[in-house]
Amino acid sequence: MIINSLKIKNIRSYTDEEIVFPEGSIMLSGDIGTGKTSVLLAIEFALFGIIRGQLPGSTLLRHGKREGFVELSFTLEGTKVTIRRNLKRSNRSITQDSGYIIINNQKHDLTPIELKSKILELIGYPDELITKSKTFIYRYTVYTPQEEMKHILFEGKDERLNVLRRIFDIDKYKRIKENTLNYMKELRGKKIELETRIEDLEDKKKEHKEYEDKIRTIKEEAAKLQKVVDEISKELKSKEEKVNEFEDKIKSIETVKNQVEIKTNNINNKKATISNTEKELKTIDENIGKISKELEGFETLDVDRLKKQKEELDSKRRTLQENLEKINDREATFTAMKKNSEDIVKKIFSLDECPVCQQKVDSGHKERVKAKENKNIVDLEKQLGKLVNLKKQRKDEIELFDRQMESLFEKLNKQEVVLVKKERLDEYRKKKELLMKEQVKIKSEIEKTEREIQDLKKKLEASHDIQSRYSEAKKVLEQVREKHKTEEIKKAELLREQKTLEEVKTRIREEINRKEESKKKLSVLQEIRNWLMKYFLNIIYLMEKQIMLHVHHEFNEYFQEWFNILLEDENLNVRLDETFTPIIEQNGYETYLENLSGGERTSVALSYRLALNKVINDFMGTIKTKDLLILDEPTDGFSSEQLDKIRELLEQIRIKQIILVSHEPKLESYVDNIIRVHKEEHVSRIIS
């Protein structure tokens, strides 16, 4: 990871600045309190956001400002990344707003948590840091604030070991051991529970065997009883068949009786029919004689010819009637015309002026009009006289036709009466013939039915004792049926008892199966517990010990190497004990860290810090921040000779980008690039 640039606005003492970071060694130079450390905190905020207890928003946002931001650009294995985080002041607190990240020119707007997750993914830090407030790896490999440089050295050994365990992910072995012991405790409880479940297993097996024996005995008794039931069933079937035969015969007899009754009723009905028919024949003979007598002396005429004459008379009469109606119409017309002329004659003498032309009417004109209208009246009276004569003639002709029609109607009516009587006479004769044939047929059927009744009565006489024999057979059947029912009840009771015993046996078997399963689980559980106790815990302990020894060995070597570079004193040596606590030997005697001078303590702390950085980067292959190291005032208390050792130290470290924060002017000659920080009126600025 190589930092390229940093933009900050309203962050601590900065209002609006952009800092460009080249590769190589870089020194942030400036007096104490000018804002050098603020740049480092801004970089950490850009990467991880607000860190509770370490990097709160209240220490970042400039006093009096409502908003601010940090935008960090860096290169990660050839990938260009830009991340921006925003701060916002509310009435109660200072919080992060959503920001964004740009990866190879692709921008993603994300929440603070999503930004942190994405950065941890990019730089290869463990996922569990997403929800944790502390960033151990970054603080111990990339940047340790000045006030925390010596903190780990003065912590208690247990706290120091716990921190190192978490940093190197060795703490998981401790958790594994604790979880294993807790799991073994659970297994012990489960073991006691399973032992309690199976303690009566053998008793249940014995009980199951007893129920099997009882069921076997019942099955044998049921088998014997089944043979008895089968024999009785055969007998019962035979008796039922016998009774069924009698019932069939009785049904047949009842059928014969019904047939006799039906046939007898049939004969009676037919005899009644014969009697009624004879009465009807007598009536028919009387009617035939009466109608024959009525037809004597009647002349039979041609009815069709009479009907034709009637149609001709009807046609002629209609013609005369139509002519009469026309005469009446003409008579009415002439009468109206005559009245009109008479009215004109009356009115003409009373007129002085013409009502149309308003001219005076003279007496000559009046006489001319009168003569003309009188002539019309005479002509009309002649015509009316002719019409009256013609009208009388037509009425006389119509009356003549009406008399002829009446005579013709009378003849037709007489002929129709004769025809009806002849038809009725024919019907009576035909019906008489049909009834006489029917009488012969019915008498023949009566004789046949009487013979059939005699045959049926003979059958009934042959079966006179069938009812008593049926009653006896039915009585025997009921006795066998009762016996069969008794044996079936015995069998059902046995089967019911067998079913109950089998249900109990099944429940016991299921309980035994569960206990057997518990026994298997107990065996597996004991094997697991023994394996965890004898092998797994020992393996975890050895793995933890081996890793800790390896880390300790490498850590100790680097610690001694960096210390010897910083402080060349044959009388002062350092090493790490098994708790990673620095042991100081001065003139062959162990001494406390507090007894050293300020420069010596800083040398121990810086050596410890650099050794920790090296070991973490070597052990954790996924970390992608190995090319970056930030040292915040690492030379506190150094003498002029010790400051000269920084040049050799920077050459030994071999890291692509080192950001060194210091107010020591002498160190400027040891680095590749210098970024100067100046502060005026509480505002920090970058001086090129």
The pairs formed by 565-568 with CB atoms below 8 angstroms and a separation of 24 or more are 565/645, 565/648, 565/649, 565/652, 566/603, 566/606, 566/607, 566/642, 566/645, 566/649, 567/599, 567/600, 567/603, 567/642, 567/645, 568/645
Confirm or reject CATH 3.40.50.300 for domain 298-462, answering yes or no: no
Check pLDDT > 80 for residue 137.
Answer: no
- Note the pLDDT of residue 74: 95
Residue 288 token pair: 């035939």
pLDDT, tens digit (0-9, with 9 covering 90-100), for 519-547: 899 899 899 889 988 888 888 888 888 88
- Note the pLDDT of residue 462: 66
Our measurement of the distance from residue 369's CA atom to the centroid of its chain's CA atoms, rounded to an integer in Å, reads 113
Q: Which among 302, 156, 250 has a CA at the least distance from the CA of 467?
A: 250
Check pLDDT > 70 for residue 583.
Answer: yes
**b vs e for 597-615, b when ≥16 Cβ sit within 10 Å of the residue's Cβ?**
eebbbbbbbbbbbbbbbbb
Q: Which among 619, 603, 461 has a CA at the least distance from the CA of 553?
A: 619
Helix axes 537-566, 640-653, angle to 10 degrees: 130
Check pLDDT > 60 for residue 435.
Answer: yes
Check pLDDT > 90 for residue 75.
Answer: yes
pLDDT, tens digit (0-9, with 9 covering 90-100), for 238-262: 888 888 887 787 787 788 778 888 8
- Note the pLDDT of residue 109: 93
* DSSP H helices in 106-170: 112-123, 136-141, 151-154, 157-167
Paired sense of beta strands 628-632 and 657-662, if any = parallel
- Number of Cα atoms under 13 Å in the Cβ half of residue 681: 1
Check pLDDT > 70 for residue 577.
Answer: yes
Check pLDDT > 90 for residue 271.
Answer: no
DSSP state of 637: T
User: What is the C-alpha separation between 299 and 417, in angstroms, rounded?
Assistant: 12
- Note the pLDDT of residue 357: 57
Give the whole-number percent of the chain exceeding pLDDT 90. Answer: 15
- Note the pLDDT of residue 676: 93
Split at pLDDT 50, 70, 90, the class of 446 is: confident
DSSP string, 555-572: HHHHHHHHHHHH---TTE
- Note the pLDDT of residue 302: 63
Question: Under a CB-based contact definition with an 8 Å cutoff, are residues 285 and 432 in contact?
Answer: yes
- Note the pLDDT of residue 130: 44
Phi, psi of 61, deg, nearest 5: -70, 130
pLDDT, tens digit (0-9, with 9 covering 90-100), for 328-381: 888 888 888 888 888 887 887 676 666 655 567 677 877 888 888 888 888 888
Could you count the other beta carbons within 10 Å of the beta carbon of residue 302? 10
Where do the domains of the chain lie?
A: 298-462
Mean pLDDT of 481-508: 89
- Note the pLDDT of residue 683: 92
Q: Mean pLDDT, the chain, as a whole number?
A: 84
Check pLDDT > 50 for residue 26.
Answer: yes
- Note the pLDDT of residue 361: 65
- Note the pLDDT of residue 355: 60
Check pLDDT > 80 for residue 459.
Answer: no
Give the angle subtended at the CA of 43 by the CAs of 37 and 44, to the nearest 5°: 90
